[in-house]
Amino acid sequence: MSHAYSSERARALILFLSLVALLAAAALVALSLGRYGLTIPEILRFLASRANLAAPDPARDDLFGNIIVEIRLPRILAAGLIGAALSVAGAAYQSAFRNPLASPGLLGALGGASFGAALALMLGLSWVTLQGFAFAGGVGAVALGVVIANLFGEASAITLILGGMISGAFFTAALSILKYAADPYDQLPAIVYWLMGSLAGISLDQILWTAPFMLAGMAGLALLGRPLDALAMGEDEARGLGVPVAALRYGAIALATFISALSVSLSGMIGWIGLFAPHFARLLVGPGNARLLPASALVGAIFLIGADTLARSVARAEIPIGIITELLGIPAFILVLRRARRGWM
């Protein structure tokens, strides 16, 4: 028994180290690709010179600094952070609701964030204010869904989902009204482009400001891993083990909504990743949330870095990243259906 447990831990460690190595490789490849191509050795030499581990090259360091540090690195960091956050949020929703099709948009967060961003664009507000409106809209939509679910007594998982669907439908309708009323030559194109998602406008300062909050939210969900495992066995079983079901579910919802809303406020709408990445991670490490949540973060980061690299490399004009993730999400949804036939968790 001890030998089997040690082998399982060793296998999990190898998988995590492999995912970390794959993430580093994806980041290096993403740094090398673009309109001005760079080789991996050139990037490594530049990074070594910045870390005072190699002699600088004055003839090229300024150019490389502009391409790597000012343009590509913020996008890669943002893609990794947002991909990890949306994936962890999706895994937490799936565990909290015992639903393999749960995702960050389940309780209306995406619809509310879209409405908030569209309202900011209609009012001609700054980019920073737009992010605040999107975040507030996402959190407000989930809060409305929770209130609706509790209108007729203590909410269950089903009533929370239904409340989220009602809230999401309300904010989607409100967004349609804004699009109908928007200036078709100025405001409407900006709203449509934001809804398709993009990492082009993200700066390093924005990442440094939001990263601590998003990492703290993901860490909080990771700490809830074992209680979420108990909840996955059923509410009665979880209560029998002393787990406060309602507090746990609301805590997981709050943290998952928080990091999802922050992600959407930075990048716009990026779909599918919160559904696809947790299922792929579950294939690798199993259903235990103590392993699943960190693995989902790594898979999501790798996936979104790859998608953003495709978005800015496959055509002369950049393709909105939401389109790429939706196209790649189609085979992921087929995978979900295949697992659903065999059972889940």
- Burial of residue 183, with CB atoms counted within 10 A of its CB: 0-12 exposed, 13-18 middle, 19 or more buried: exposed
How far, in Å, are 19, 21, 302 from residue 40 at the CA level? 19, 15, 18
Between CA 104 and CA 149 the distance in angstroms is 17
Low-confidence ranges of the chain (pLDDT < 50): 1
Distances (CA, A) of 179 to 86, 184, 196: 26, 8, 14
Place of tokens 């980019």: 127
pTM of the model: 0.90
Report whether 116 contacts 135 (CB < 8 A): yes
* Terminal CA-CA length for the chain: 23
Burial 69-104, CB ≥16 within 10 A → b, else e:
eebbbbbbbbbbbbbbbbbbbbbbbbbbbbebebbb
Cα–Cα–Cα angle for 80, 85, 88, rounded to 5 degrees: 120
Are the CB atoms for 238 and 245 separated by under 8 Å?
Answer: yes
Convert 253-318 into a string of H (helix), E (strand) and C (coil): HHHHHHHHHHHHHHHCCCCCHHHHHHHHHHHHHCCCHHHHHHHHHHHHHHHHHHHHHHHHHCCCCC
Query: How far is residue 50's CA from residue 125's CA, in Å, rounded to a whole number?
Result: 37
Query: How confident is the model over 43-61, as pLDDT tens digits?
Result: 888 877 777 776 666 767 7
pLDDT, position 329: 74
Residue located via tokens 């962890």: 88
Give SS3 for 42: helix
Please report the pLDDT score of residue 336 as a whole number. 60
| Dist CA 100 CA 155 (whole Å) | 20
Catalogue all structural domains in the chain, each as residue range(s) with its CATH number: 2-342 (1.10.3470.10)
